[in-house]
């Protein structure tokens, strides 16, 4: 993966002058600036094992400690740091934890996901899931699989009976994170001609660089779209992947067959979610076949004052926001694979009918 700090700076500078609806919500605001600093110090090559760079959107451990088996401070940790250095200690302790974790989860993941991956591999090679040196990985169907991709494979497996991906031409992913979902869907379905991958900087920058590794010459990045008045299939140089900052979505003019969001709607304010849904209504294809898939994870039933200030939207608020416009109907997706691997629910929203797309208010 190539570091392009000038691209990151351009994104961050432009975001600083955008309206609040196009900037990080309360959940992500605390990460944005610290993540930028970490990217400039460490680069993006190993973002999947560096919590300072990849926390919250890649497969790094979420703890700020050196690892889940060592505290952040203390006499023993200070002694080990002075003796071996923090980076060596972090990799050793994380490695020890991951070894124990793999022993516990290896058989479970292989049993629940292994048959899907073996069947997939018979039709075409599996994508490389280990680029970026993930801290969490498991051996499934005879090969190492990065944890982010375990989730992605399970979501796609459960959505394939609902969405005919073989006929999808254009996808819009809102909250694309590391780019693992885009990477997998584009690899599995070469018929997809345009993939709009949207996230806030600096996450969008990291995902852009990640996707450039797998699809060299096929990513139309922010430097190229920034000055466009409209973003259409005709002015993106025929490239398959178009990374978007949130304020660029209103410039897109296309007909989208499949929309996708995993988890991040819950981490946004309701005004931001409403804006994305209105944009999806505008971009949905006119034959009424567009579908919007989302994954929601469980939220606490009770909230402390601190948590309420940075609250996660419950599933019910997201569903109500979709259905209030009378343009989408919701149904749950049978989780034959993902239910046994990840705690959460898959939902599919379908257009209520064909016809002209509603204008934005």
The predicted-structure confidence for 295-305, as pLDDT tens digits, reads as follows: 998 654 444 43
Residue 307: inside a domain? yes
Question: 303-333, pLDDT tens digit by residue?
Answer: 443 344 456 888 899 999 998 876 899 999 9
Task: Give the chain's mean pLDDT.
Answer: 85
Number of domains forming the structure of the chain:
1
Domain membership of residue 213 as a residue range:
151-351
- Phi/psi for 150 (5° steps) reads -60, -45
CATH code for position 248: 3.40.50.150
Asked if residue 142 has pLDDT above 60, the reply is yes
Q: Is 240 part of a structural domain of the chain?
A: yes
Q: Are 351 and 284 in contact (CB under 8 A)?
A: yes
> What tens digit of pLDDT does each residue of 199-215 get?
999 999 999 999 999 99
Mean pLDDT across 114-137: 89
Give the C-alpha separation, 342 to 328, whole Å: 26
Contacts with 266 (C-beta within 8 Å, 6 or more apart), sequence order: 296, 297, 299, 312, 313, 314, 315, 318
Provide the pLDDT for residue 237: 92
**Position 66 pLDDT exceeds 90:** no
Tell me whether residue 32 is in a domain: no
pLDDT at residue 62, rounded to an integer: 56
Instruction: Tell whether the model's pLDDT for residue 102 goes beyond 80.
Output: no
What are 148-182's pLDDT values in tens digits?
Answer: 999 999 999 999 999 999 999 999 999 999 999 99
The pLDDT score that the predictor gives to residue 212 is: 98
Domain contains 163: yes
Q: Is residue 99 part of a domain?
A: no
- Quote the pLDDT of residue 303: 41
For residue 316, what are the contacts with CB-CB under 8 A and spacing of at least 6? Answer: none
> How are beta strands 345-351 and 291-296 bridged, if at all?
antiparallel
Is residue 101 predicted with pLDDT exceeding 70?
no
pLDDT for position 83: 66
13 within a domain of the structure (yes/no): no
Angstrom distance (rounded) from CA 248 to CA 198: 9
Q: Please indicate, yes or no, if residue 110 is contained in any of the structural domains.
A: no
* Nearest C-alpha neighbor of 31 from the set 60, 74, 1: 60
Confidence of residue 89 (pLDDT cuts 50, 70, 90): low
Is 213 a domain residue?
yes
Dump pLDDT digits (tens) for 234-263: 999 999 999 999 999 999 999 999 999 998
């Amino acid at each position: 993966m190539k570091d392009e700090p000038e691209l990151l700076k351009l994104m961050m500078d432009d975001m600083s002058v955008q309206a609040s609806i196009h900037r990080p919500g309360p959940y992500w605001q605390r990460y944005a600036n610290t993540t930028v600093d970490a990217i400039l110090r460490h680069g993006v090559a190993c973002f999947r094992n560096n919590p300072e760079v990849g926390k919250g959107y890649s497969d790094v451990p979420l703890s700020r400690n050196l690892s889940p088996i060592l505290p952040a401070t203390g006499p023993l940790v200070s002694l080990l740091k002075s003796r071996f250095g923090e980076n060596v200690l972090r990799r050793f302790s994380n490695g020890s934890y991951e070894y124990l974790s793999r022993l516990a989860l290896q058989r479970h993941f292989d049993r629940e996901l292994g048959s899907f991956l073996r069947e997939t591999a018979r039709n075409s090679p599996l994508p490389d899931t280990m680029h970026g040196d993930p801290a969490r990985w498991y051996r499934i169907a005879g090969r190492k699989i990065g944890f982010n991709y375990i989730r992605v494979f399970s979501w796609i497996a459960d959505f394939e009976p609902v969405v005919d991906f073989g006929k999808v031409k254009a996808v819009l992913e809102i909250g694309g994170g590391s780019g693992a979902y885009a990477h997998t869907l584009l690899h599995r379905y070469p018929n997809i001609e345009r993939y709009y991958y949207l996230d806030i900087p600096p996450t969008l920058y990291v995902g852009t660089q990640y996707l450039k590794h797998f699809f060299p010459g096929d990513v139309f990045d922010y430097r190229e779209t920034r000055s466009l008045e409209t973003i259409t299939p005709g002015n993106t140089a025929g490239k398959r992947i178009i990374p978007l900052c949130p304020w660029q979505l209103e410039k897109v003019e296309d007909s989208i067959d499949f929309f996708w969001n995993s988890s991040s709607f819950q981490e946004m304010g309701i005004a931001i979610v409403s804006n994305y849904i209105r944009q999806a209504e505008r971009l949905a294809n006119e034959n009424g076949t567009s579908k919007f898939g989302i994954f929601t994870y469980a939220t606490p039933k009770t909230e402390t004052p601190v948590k309420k200030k940075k609250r996660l939207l419950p599933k019910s608020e997201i569903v109500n926001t979709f259905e209030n416009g009378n343009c989408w109907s919701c149904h749950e997706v049978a989780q034959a694979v993902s239910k046994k691997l990840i705690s959460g629910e898959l939902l599919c929203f379908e257009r209520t009918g064909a016809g002209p797309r509603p204008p934005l208010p």
